[in-house]
A and B are shown apart, each in its own frame.
Chain A
Amino acid sequence: MIARFIALAALVSVSSGIAGPPHRAPPLPAGTISGKVTYTGTLPKLRPIDMAKEPNCVTQHPTPVMTQDAVTGPANSVRYVVVYISAGDQGAPAATDTVHYDQKGCLYIPHVAAMQVHQPLAIFNDDPHSHNIHPLARVNPEWNKSQPKGAPPIRTSWDQPEFIAVKCNVHPWMHGYFVVLVTPHFTVTDSTGEFSLTGLPAGKYTVTAWHERFGTQSQEVTIGGSETKTANFVLTARPY
């Protein structure tokens, strides 16, 4: 009698262990595409940004800031490259965490902000003076709003995928990007130039690397199961 009871209890617990908590399917195997973005060729000369008209910002940068259109790192790595899945992706609902875009020291931080369609975006002014944020959207509706000192953050989102240049009318050197993508698989390289796109189910993917100055390149990568595949990009730099 007790033995039967113990066996039944064991069976129940094992079967519930196999079934897992209710409503969760077993995780699919997921792969990763990773790599590094580097350049060949001659880099354009980065110029120091002249912020003289806004002394507030000059004082915030003890050494002058250089233009950010071709930022590189050690071993010819390229920064601010958006690497993303441009085809083969099943798509996914928009991430709900808010993307922060900051105006500080008369610079956009980060220089390139990548986000999904419909993902919330909050734009902050952390400088002691007005900024005016003008995303030069051509597909999405274009808008142009001032943010005086101390104004609340501008909260918005984008409906269509697009590479949107962002400028500040009042400080013409300020320049950044909103990269709006359908896919949830994207990353923006830092100064190592490295990227890693994880959580990819098995399938054939096109990985695209976009740089504001060095152009776009794509590669096809097939993932089967939970493997990691490497895809490196070598962009061509030109001095002018």
Chain B
Amino acid sequence: MTHGVATGHARPQSFLRRHVFSVDHKVIGRQYLDLALVAVVTGMVLSWIMRFHLGWPETPVPGLGKLAPTGAAGGVITPEFYLALMTMHGTIMVFFVLTTAPFAGFGNFFLPIHVGAEDMAFPRINMTSFWVTLLALLVLLSAFFVGDGPPLSGWTAYAPLSAVGKDAGPGQGVGQTLWAVSIAIFCIAQLLGSLNFIATTLDLRTRGMSLARLPFATWAWFITSVIGLVAFAVLMPACILLILDRVAGTSFFIPAGLVISDRLQPHAGGSPLLWQHLFWFFGHPEVYIAILPGFGIVSQILPVFARKPLLGPRVFITCLIAIAFLSYTVWGHHMFLSGMNPLSATLFSVPTLVITIPATIITLLWIGTLYGGRLRFTSASLFALGFVSVFVSGGISGFFLAQPSTDIYLHGTYFVVAHFHFVMGVAAMFGIFAGTYFWFPKMFGRMMNETLGKWHFWLTFIGVYCVFMPMHYLGLAGNVRRYSAFTDDYLQPLIPLHRFITVAALFTGAVQLIFLFNLIRSRVRGPKAPDNPWEATTLEWSTSSPPPHDNFGGRQPVVSHGPNEYGGAGPRDYVMQADPQ
């Protein structure tokens, strides 16, 4: 174990240095969270427009005709506009919400504190990674304002649709290039971030903070950053190859003889499947990058509010590592029907099913942690418990998609949409909500309003089930995904169910205003927060709320305990990590 003050930096004076171009990991963490907040609101509004159109495709959306005179003349959304919204919704949510908030947001703020350091290992690189992420987001959003609009190829951007240029459709010109450039820039930011997390975790742990004593959230951030290092290192060159196909006349992903818009395409020798392999080699680890921090946050929060230790901490860490390792072996399950060798489908499905085992163990450890506990219900703990429920729901639908034989029917249907929204759009979001309610007092020195938080939880919990559980039924009925309208005969009986989902989605979206209101109001008027409002053990609760500039007020914490010491007898039922021996 090591400890270091190498990153110590003096408290900055100017407004710009304190709040804008700050190298302080706490400021950078908040900046990431603010970026994610803007992104999630954008992504959610896009989804409202999409869902409205799916329920009522011929009804004009009030005001949209003025905002998008080409895409929605008279307020009625065209198919290409729907797909552009869908592409941006997926891209913004996966990259700029789920890969920022749980990982770069909370991780940046709390990882150095969790290990007992003053800051990240490379504070200036840390600042750079935020600004590069913001640049990537701005480049992506600029696609809304260029000639033909954003691309329509989905967040997965399969070639050759994404590679041949504007012949393939509206948005496939400049819009698609901007998308690829944005993602390539994002990869750079992620790689820089991963380096920082890994170096800090390995090198800057304070005295007594062995790896075994790391908080669970920190383990999750550490493992996530290792996954990200390899995954983003593949996505970036893939995006560069895509850009080259689009602007430099190369043919990495485009075979010969394609006729698009009555034009024979001047390419030869490329493979569309190559894009899919490269993308999903990144794409599958990416979904674990999105969820693992949530695992860590939930494992951190449940013991606090159950007043007993997480069951099987070493088992938990081992399972995280197993999931990380296995996550690189399963990417082909997105491609069972892609035209790759059918034998490889069976080969990929085995590790895909095997990954269920550590995920099941972790879920059982959470449930087992509750056993015998003394549960306290706060907004944070409710979202952590809700996480367990929605993760079970989302994980179980994976059983069907992991098997090629059942995937024959379910691939490309709403069953898949249900599955990934439950695990990413709901569970990962619940992890972010839980983390927010849990850490808000520490970050801002004020308590959030518990009544509003509980209303937020209940309405959201019921709302998300109303939105996403019915999508399984649509999938079983064969309802294809990524359709901008349901004109096929066999889909007509399913439209009432779509309308139900739309209403539930608009309702659940509106409920998030409660959360926003609570965030803003508590920043300004929340009651002052004590150092340790939840009676938790990890190092952040040993310092003030909010922490001082160097995190621990000049004193380096000395750690004598693990993070899991809850449930003791006596007046104080927990031992903090920094408590004396």
Contacts and interface: CB of A to CB of B under 8 A. Distances in A.
Chain B facing A: main interface SS? loop
B169 interface: yes
A158 B237 CA distance: 41
B364 interface: no
Interface string A115-133: 0000000000000011010
Given A148-B58, A148-B77, A150-B76, 16 more contacts: A130-B78, A130-B79, A130-B485, A134-B261, A136-B261, A136-B262, A144-B80, A144-B169, A144-B170, A147-B78, A151-B73, A151-B76, A152-B73, A165-B262, A167-B261, A169-B169
B70 interface: yes
A129 B70 CA distance: 18
B255 interface: no
A200 to B, nearest CB: 36
B161 to A, nearest CB: 13
B412 interface: no
Contact of A129 (B261, B262, B487): B487
10 contacts: A130-B485, A136-B261, A136-B262, A144-B261, A145-B170, A146-B78, A147-B78, A148-B57, A151-B73, A167-B262
A149 interface: yes
Interface in A138-172: 142, 144-152, 154, 165, 167, 169
B74 interface: yes
Nearest to B166: A142
B495 to A, nearest CB: 15
Chain B interface residue number, banded: 10 to 19
Contacts of B58: 148-150
Interface string B160-188: 00000010011000000000000000000
Contacts of A148: 57-58, 76-78
A130 B484 CA distance: 11
A132 B261 contact: no
B153 to A, nearest CB: 15
Interface in B338-397: none
Interface string A36-78: 0000000000000000000000000000000000000000000
Q: Which 5 A-B pairs have the closest CB atoms?
A: A146-B78, A148-B76, A146-B79, A144-B170, A152-B74
A173 to B, nearest CB: 13
Interface in B55-72: 57-58, 70
Nearest to A148: B76
Nearest to B489: A55
A148 B65 CA distance: 13
Contact of A145 (B76, B78, B487): B78
Query: Quick one: which of B166, B169, B170 has the most chain A CB within 10 A?
Result: B170
B74 A151 contact: yes
A152 B72 CA distance: 11
A152 B69 CA distance: 11
B275 to A, nearest CB: 23
A132 B74 contact: no
Contacts of A136: 261-262
Nearest to B487: A129
A171 to B, nearest CB: 12
A169 B77 CA distance: 17
Query: Quick one: which of A132, A146, A149, A165 has the most chain B CB within 10 A?
Result: A146
Contacts of A167: 261-262
Nearest to B75: A151
Contacts of B262: 136, 165, 167
Interface in B498-527: none
Query: Quick one: which of B74, B77, B78 has the most chain A CB within 10 A?
Result: B78
Nearest to B80: A146
A132 B82 CA distance: 14
Interface in B72-101: 73-74, 76-81
B52 to A, nearest CB: 14
A195 B220 CA distance: 79
A102 to B, nearest CB: 17
Contacts of A147: 78
B264 to A, nearest CB: 13
Contacts of A142: 166
Contacts of A134: 261
A150 B262 CA distance: 28
Contacts of B485: 130
Interface in B14-68: 57-58
Contacts of B78: 130, 145-148
Contacts of A129: 487
A102 B73 CA distance: 18
Contacts of A144: 80, 169-170, 261
Contacts of A150: 58, 76
Nearest to B170: A144
